[in-house]
Structure 1
């Protein structure tokens, strides 16, 4: 084969970078997601090395952004993403927390060292207690009562997961004597309240029948946990969108005022330019500061919708599905985020158009001033040429006067020398000749100067 591209192996192995855990039911998963801004890998390595048996954990083990550590009957998984890091503890479910219990206390039975979860470096975004256990799905009423009691006796959101998106064939329905289509049974139940408990965690309960494979249980856990993480990450831009509302309203009003002044020409260009520059700087600052957050939220929201679709939910009578519950509450929030992002982008474009209008107005005013200046220069040049002609006429007369005076003195000198000549008559006769010669010489010099100026670049 030709030589490998430098990124080939890395890109090829990306599909295996974060494999789903194999979960043996009954199980307890503690998932804590933190923002890791300012958190170095050295800090993460120092924290993970507090787990029993990993005191000599090296920094090189964290370079792939994924690490699974097994210690004392439980597993800790660490993942690093663009904005956040996940710490997932997988352990057997304590005996007192099986189905039939009433809101069991789980944190004292977490297998990690005391305070290890509290010392995770970063700020918490999501904290979930996911309990997965076995139970038959045949009697929905009894199972719902037990699950509601386990979650604290309040209203719950529940989904039958794994339902096919299509009905079985009509032939199968007829063979069953039902004369229609049938929906196959899903593989498990997922229930939650989407509420923070007194210990700061949310609770999810997954009920699956006996025989559920560890691989399927791992996929279920991954989808539910990622659903909650991406939901909260998507909503991080909602407070930003609300905070920008007043700034956008004020900016839109100011822009409307500026465009009105542009139309009415009642304000100076410099005043309008100063106001418009200040407005543009404010909008660009807000765009540069928040555009990534808005884009990231839309990306996270698309992942939420993808995870909901992967659950392949079907409603359990008397409850909302997880997808319906989230969409009903997230859709308005995300619509607000999208509207704010589009409003910010639109305002930036409108400010740019107003700047173009002001620039056009300034260019037109400058062009008018240039035309007036050229007209003044043309009039000045005409006057200068007229004056130059007058000066040239006076110069011819003055030069001729001095030449004739010299000829008069020359005639007097010749008369004194004995020549029969009348100096005054001689000077008078030479006046036309001198005038013609001086005029002719002046015109030649003027022509040479004009030709020289015309040839110059």
Structure 2
């Protein structure tokens, strides 16, 4: 037994301290690593418990308005004795009035969401007087989304239905029938669309997830519908361009004059410029609308929505109203793209016709210039012949004066008439040869330097 005890003492003890972990190696860090890691945790579900009232506003903001709003919100947080958002933060939560005020900055809008204790267990009781959206609140831009959501414990009575319009009321179960939700998407007397969530068995995390998804559906479906009004605004312009293109196409068939084709080409260019201006101004709105609509569809699926017998579900309601609006935007985009291709083909065809007419005109002009050049060459040759005779005449005249002077001085020269007669052919040939050499020299220089 003693031996066994000694052996146990010699054996390594299981209670010995673990070896210290080696320090992880340090590598150069990508400048966006922190942002990427933080993005996964951005806008988390905040646990909430019932009864609770939630106020949610979304304001359309430009970059300048968003920067001013960040500065104001930082000052507001400081006035509450809390830190404001970081310079690059897009999400911040401020404890306020027994609840939390959430600030979020998006690409083209800014949202403020406050959740606090409800003043009553009944649905849509008067708002808490200490909510943050009073006279001290500064709206960062034009409000587009204003929503109130009441999270209450489920009750057997359905008195809450009196707050809604039966014609557009949607009622549905969420989270595997753990709660009942309802809305009619209509603003109340305060301009707030109303959502009601009656909690059966959801925990606080599930409540927070459902509340956030419902608010996101309301926000993104509203911003998605902005594309519909852009499409309605563009539709008359596109129809007018299509009509003008048909008219110009018929006129192109009957047009054979160069000036008329130039006029048609100018009109086509104006139509194309007008179409491209409209497409450029609407491309962002349509692209954003598609992205917002995809988010709405994703949030509806995440809700785990189940219809309630006898009531319209949210998916059915939005499917009948939001989906057609998105198809309208898509149809306008396709019309723009199709019309742009048609204008490009018509412009190319007409430009080709104009180019052919211009080439024909240039060919005629070149032929006319060639005829004129030949006439000038003949005239030049005639003038050259006359100039040989004229210069020879003057040179012979000078020689006659020389011969007469030499004779009068008694120099041994033939008679002036004989001298002049003998000099005439020599002078004429010499002048002709000289003029020919000069012309040949100029011809060689023009060939060497065409410019």
TM-score (norm 2): 0.81
- Aligned equivalents of 1:351, 1:447: Cα separation in 2: 56
Report the secondary structure of 1:340's partner residue. Answer: helix
- What's 1:30 paired with? 55
Secondary structure at the aligned position of 2:107 is classed as coil
The answer to whether the 8 A contact 2:93-2:102 is kept is yes
Deviations 1:196-229 (A, max 9, x none): 222322222223333x221111111111110111
Structure 2 match to 1:335: 327
The alignment partner of 2:171 has SS state of strand
Verify: 1:366 aligned to 2:378, yes or no.
no
In structure 2, do the counterparts of structure 1 residues 29 and 414 end up closer, same or farther at CA, with 3 Å as the change threshold? closer
Separation in structure 2 between the aligned mates of residue 350 and residue 56 of structure 1, nearest angstrom: 63
Per mean C-alpha deviation after superposition, the further-off stretch among 349-358 and 442-451 is: 349-358
Q: Does 1:307 align with 2:299?
A: yes
SS of 1:132's partner is strand
1:226 aligns with 2:216: yes
Which residue among 135, 145, 166 is the counterpart of 1:126? 145
Q: In 2, Cα distance between the equivalents of 1:237 and 1:72?
A: 37
1:39 to 65, 77, 91: 65
C-alpha distance in structure 1 between counterparts of 2:382 and 2:133, whole Å: 109
Whole-Å separation in 1 of the counterparts to 2:441 and 2:312: 101
SS of equivalent to 2:197: strand
Where 1:195 maps in the other structure, the secondary structure is strand
Q: Which residue in 2 is equivalent to 1:262? A: 252
Matches within 5 A, 1:407-426: 407-412=399-404, 417=410, 419=412, 421-426=414-419
The answer to whether the aligner puts 1:190 opposite 2:181 as a matched pair is: yes
**Which moves more between the two structures, 271-280 or 86-95?**
271-280
Kept after mapping to 2: 8 A contact 1:151/1:192? no
CA apart distance, 1:442: 2.6
The 3 A distance-change label for structure 1 pair 3 and 438 is same
Secondary structure of residue in 1 paired with 2:57: strand
Q: Which residue of 2 aligns with 1:158?
A: 171
Q: Secondary structure at the match of 1:365?
A: helix
Query: Is residue 119–residue 126 contact of structure 2 (8 Å, CA) maintained in 1?
Result: no
Match of 2:393 in 1: 401
| Partners of 1:352 and 1:370 in 2: CA distance | 26
Cα-to-partner distance string for 1:390-414 (whole Å, 9 max, x where unaligned): 1222222223333444444555556
Residue 323 of structure 1: aligned partner: 315
Structure 1 residues 353-362 or 53-62, which shifts more?
53-62
- What displacement does 1:54 show? 4.1
Q: Distance in 2 between matches of 1:317 and 1:83?
A: 39
Q: How does 1:108-127 map to 2 (within 5 A)?
A: 108-109=127-128, 111-112=130-131, 115=134, 120-127=139-146
Counterpart of 1:182 in structure 2 is none
Q: Quick one: distance in 2 between partners of 1:40 and 1:240?
A: 23
Q: Distance between the aligned counterparts of 1:117 and 1:201, measured in 2?
A: 19
1:392 — aligned with what? Answer: 384
Return 267-276 or 316-325, whichever deviates more.
267-276
Q: Name which of 91, 94, 104 aligns with 1:69.
A: 94
CA 1:385–1:91: 2 relative to 1, 3 Å: same
Partner of 2:441: 448
1:236 to 204, 218, 226: 226
Give 5+ residue unaligned stretches, structure 2: 1-25
Whole-Å Cα distance in 2 between the matches of residues 11 and 420 of structure 1?
Answer: 116
Query: Structure 1 residue 230: deviation in Å?
Result: 0.5
1:112 Cα deviation from its structure 2 partner: 1.4
Q: How does 1:133-212 map to 2 (within 5 A)?
A: 133-135=152-154, 146=158, 149=161, 151-152=163-164, 154=166, 156-162=169-175, 185-210=176-201, 212=202
Partner of 2:9: none
Partner of 1:428: 421
The 3 A distance-change label for structure 1 pair 382 and 90 is: same
| 3-state SS in 2 of match to 1:193 | strand
Deviation, 1:234, is: 0.3
SS of equivalent to 1:229: helix
| Partner Cα separation in structure 2 for residue 413 and residue 112 of structure 1 | 130
Provide the secondary structure at the position in 2 that maps to 1:112.
coil
